[in-house]
Every structure is written in structure tokens, then in C-alpha cells.
Amino acid sequence: MTCGGYAERVTVEPVMPDHVAPMLAAAGAIPAGAGWAFEFKFDGVRAVAYVDGDRLRLLSRNHNDVTSTYPELRELTARLRGRRAILDGEIVACEPGDRPSFARLAARMHVSSPPPALLGSVPVVYYVFDLLWLDGRSLLDEPYQVRRAELAGLALDGRAVRTPPEFTGVDGRSVLHAAELGGLEGVVAKRLSAPYRAGRRSADWTKVPLIRTQEVLIIGWRPGAGRRAGLIGSLLLAVEDGGRLRFAGHVGTGFTDVMLRQLGERLAPLRRTTAPVPDVPREHARHAQWVEPGLVGEVAFRNWTAEGRLRHPSWRGLRPDRAAGSARRRPDPVAPAGGQVRGALETPDGRWRVEAVARGKDQFYRLIHGDNVVDGLVIATLHRLLAEAGVDLADLVEVHEPGPTAGRRGVA
């Protein structure tokens, strides 16, 4: 069998492997040129599914068995009609309108046997984007486009299982823009000729996020006041940076009451009397309740301060699918060079920025949201993109000195 000019290389493994470590994507800019497919990046938790007849086993990225947490995904066994397969994908909970919501998924992630009411109020969908093993054949060494073609042939789409779209022969920037308009997390570019590199992070899969996130370790918390009296007011955070654990600031937004109660229960047995990292500023250490740094969470944030603190972080949820070692400070994105910024406007919260740019004889507008940069815009297109995002250009305020985005061009 061939697909796209590649001869299928069959590796026979009659016994299904017990474990295949998921391949990981490297952060980068949208690749240019031919030879790439683009998929939407969904805001959920990674899971590898092992289907053997009527038996299903779901393993998280850090090898925890989460089968009982998501019982609706047993639909996979019916969809495969007795076949045996190993699948890779993302478990997602959606808001009305099919927009993925990590906050909604957080209500399911820690419940090993969810009651019917929770299954009904927070249903999940498994987006299957890769096929690793099928009926005794390993597909790990096959090119991505061969694996994707075989996956499509399984016709898995149902109520709780979907095969997400892939886009080939297109400009990846248009897919990224579509992801932004749809409220998705970003895009993953996958090299058509690449094998599945189990357990490795590779630029053959390049992730281009629309929001900047960071895994963090919880090292303590401060009590709440007012409406949060008796609950956690804010979490104190740390990341591994330069080979040691360092204080990374605090986060006090993005929580639901359910999250706060769950965090209180999870942190209570981890209490300790001293800070687990040095040099916590006095204003954060005052009234702090310290804990062993064992729980990994995720925050969205704007950038890092010069002191190594997270600027404007917002809590996204605990990450039971991540090990403590994943809480390493991620490198700052590399800003492409070129173009002179003649002026800039920002929303009062700093989330959206518009720059007037001159490059040679060209003059245009640049729209910046997090790490996403859309270049070469005329004023009409700029108005439309902002309007679609619910931002009124008239609400932006002038920035008198160019920020760190000055000189960037292209779409990151």
C-alpha cells in the first residue's frame, strides 16, 4: 500500500505494546514551504488510548490510568468494531458552541468515577489525531501522512470521539488565524514525512500557541478575604530555572469556587512550616501557608518580569498529567527582526496591541495578541479582526514608547 508516494513499511507486533510514550511538540514559528500539515491545538489533556476488542485503557502523558475518569470514551470500542489499536489524542471539555474550555475540564480531571450528574453537565470529547498501532502492525515508523490516512479510514467520529481536521497545501498562517477566531489554543504543524518519535520532543511537530502558558509548582498559599474568606486567596508559585527551584510570583485570578475547594483539600496534607524556595519577598511570605512542591498547575500569563516573576498570571487548573519536572521556565519566544514601529496602541489591560510599522517603502499595521503576531494589515482588516475578537479600536490607548514587540514582523 502507498500513500502520497510512501511505501508502507509493515512492522508486525502481534502483542499490543503496554505503553507508547507520546511524541511531544517543540514550540516555534509557523513553518513555511511545502511538506507540512496543520492541525488545531486543543486545550485539554493528552491521552493515549489502547483498544483491544471491547477493552479500553487510557493513559495520561505521565502514564496514569485515567480510564475510569472518562467512561464515555468507551465509545472507542464500538467505533473500532472489534479491532485492536493504539491511538493518540486530546481529551477536551467544551463550552456551548464547541469551544474547548480547560476550566470546565478541570471539574472532571480529579474524579475517578464521575457520577451521572457530572457526566451530563461536563461531557468530554476525545480528539484522535494519530494512529500508532493497528491489528498487530506498528505504525510508529510510518510517515505522518500514512498514519493520518489510515486514521481517517477508521471513521471514528461519534458523540464522544472525533478526528480533528488537518490542513495541507495551505499557508499555516491562515490556519492560525482560523484557530484564533474559533477561540482555540493554537496550531500544531506536522511534517508530512516524519515518523512518530515516541517519548521525544521534536520540531517535526511544531506548536504555535495563541496564548502563553507555563507549568508551575505550588509552594504555598495565602488566605482569602471577603467573598473568599475561609478559602484560598492566592497561590504562591515556583518554577525550575537555571537548575534550581525559584519563586515565580503568585496567582489570584482564574479560580472557580469548586477549584478553590479542591485545591484546599489537595494542599492540606502537604503543609510544611518553612518556604521550600529561598528569597520569597516579605509581602508574599506574610501569612503564607507553605506546602511541599508536589502539585503541578498551569497558568496563562503575559510575560516574565526582570525579577523572574510571572506578569498578569491567571490560573488554568491543576495538571495531574504533568510530572514535577515539567515545571521548567520556558524560554521567551524569539522575535523576528525588521520594520520600524512608528506608533503603538494597546488595550488598557495590555492584551491587544496595534503597531503602525514602516519597512522600506511599505507601511502597514501589525496586530499582536500574546505571542501571536499578524503582520501586513490594512486598516479595514485590522478593524475587522479586532471586532471579531470583541475589541473596539476606539478603546485602545496610545503607547508613547515602543514595547518589547517593536521590530517584530511576520506571524509567530
Amino acid at 356: A
Domain co-membership, 245 together with 196:
no
CA dihedral 89, 91, 96, 99 (to 10 degrees): -50
Residue 369 domain-assigned? yes
pLDDT of residue 406: 37
Phi-psi sector, 348: left (phi>0), alpha (psi -120 to 50), beta = alpha
Please give the residue range of the domain that contains residue 6.
2-209
Q: What are the catalytic residues?
A: 41
| Cell (9 digits) for 150 | 489510515
Clarify whether residues 315 and 369 are in a common domain.
no
Alpha-carbon distance of 396 to 42, in angstroms, equals 30
Grid cell of 304 as nine digits: 516574565
Same domain, 152 and 221: no
Asked if residue 175 and residue 39 are part of one domain, the reply reads yes
pLDDT of 412 reads 28
Q: Which residues contact 116 (CB under 8 A, 6 or more apart)?
A: none
Cα 376–chain centre separation:
27
Of 144, 178, 209, which closes a domain?
209
CATH code where residue 256 lies: 2.40.50.140
- Where does the pLDDT of residue 409 fall: very low under 50, low under 70, confident under 90, or very high at 90 and above? very low
Q: Has residue 9 got a pLDDT over 70?
A: no
Rg (CA), the chain: 23
End of a domain among 326, 361, 389? 326
261 pLDDT more than 60: yes
Residue 94 or residue 338, greater confidence: 94
Cα maximum dimension of the chain: 67
- The pTM of this model reads 0.62
Summarize the confidence of residues 395-402 as an average pLDDT. 75
The answer on pLDDT for 318 being more than 60 is yes
332 has pLDDT over 60: yes
Based on the fold, state whether residues 95 and 35 are members of the same structural domain. yes
Higher pLDDT, 59 or 400: 59
Q: What is the pLDDT of residue 11?
A: 59
Tell whether 68 is covered by a domain.
yes
**Run of H or E including 72:** none
Range ranked top by mean pLDDT from 25-29, 177-181, 291-295, 388-392: 291-295
92 lies in the same domain as 234: no
- Left, alpha or beta for 235 (phi > 0: left; psi -120 to 50: alpha)? beta
- Of 326, 353, 386, the last residue of a domain is 326
State whether 61 and 121 are in the same domain: yes
Nearest-angstrom CA–CA distance, 192 and 159:
29
Both 240 and 135 in one domain: the answer is no
DSSP label at 22?
A: P
Identify the band that residue 43 occupies on the pLDDT scale cut at 50, 70 and 90: confident
Domain holding 6: CATH number? 3.30.470.30
Which range is least confidently modeled, 146-155, 268-277, 366-375? 366-375
Q: Residue 16: which residues within 8 A CB-CB, separation 6 or more?
A: 50, 52, 84, 86, 133
Domain contains 44: yes
CB 377, CB 365: distance < 8 Å: yes
Is residue 332, in this structure, part of any structural domain at all? no
Cell of 231: 478559602
Q: Are 45 and 107 in contact (CB under 8 A)?
A: no
C-alpha distances in Å from residue 164, one per residue of 63, 143, 152, 273: 24, 18, 10, 48
Beta-strand ranges (E) seen in 267-339 are 271-272, 289-291, 296-300, 303-304, 310-311, 314-318
Q: Report the length, in residues, of the chain.
A: 412
| H or E segment to which residue 21 belongs | none
As given in the structure block, the three cell numbers for residue 294 are 508536589
For position 4, what pLDDT does the model report? 44
Based on the fold, state whether residues 68 and 28 are members of the same structural domain.
yes
Q: Are residues 53 and 154 located together in one domain of the fold?
A: yes
Domain check: are 238 and 177 in the same one?
no
Q: Are residues 317 and 217 in the same domain?
A: yes
pLDDT at residue number 335: 42
261 within domain boundaries: yes
User: Is 197 part of a structural domain of the chain?
Assistant: yes
In a domain, 312, yes or no: yes
Whole-angstrom Cα distance, residue 302 to residue 320?
24
- How many structural domains are present in the chain? 3
Residue 240 included in any domain: yes
Copy the grid coordinates of residue 288: 503564607
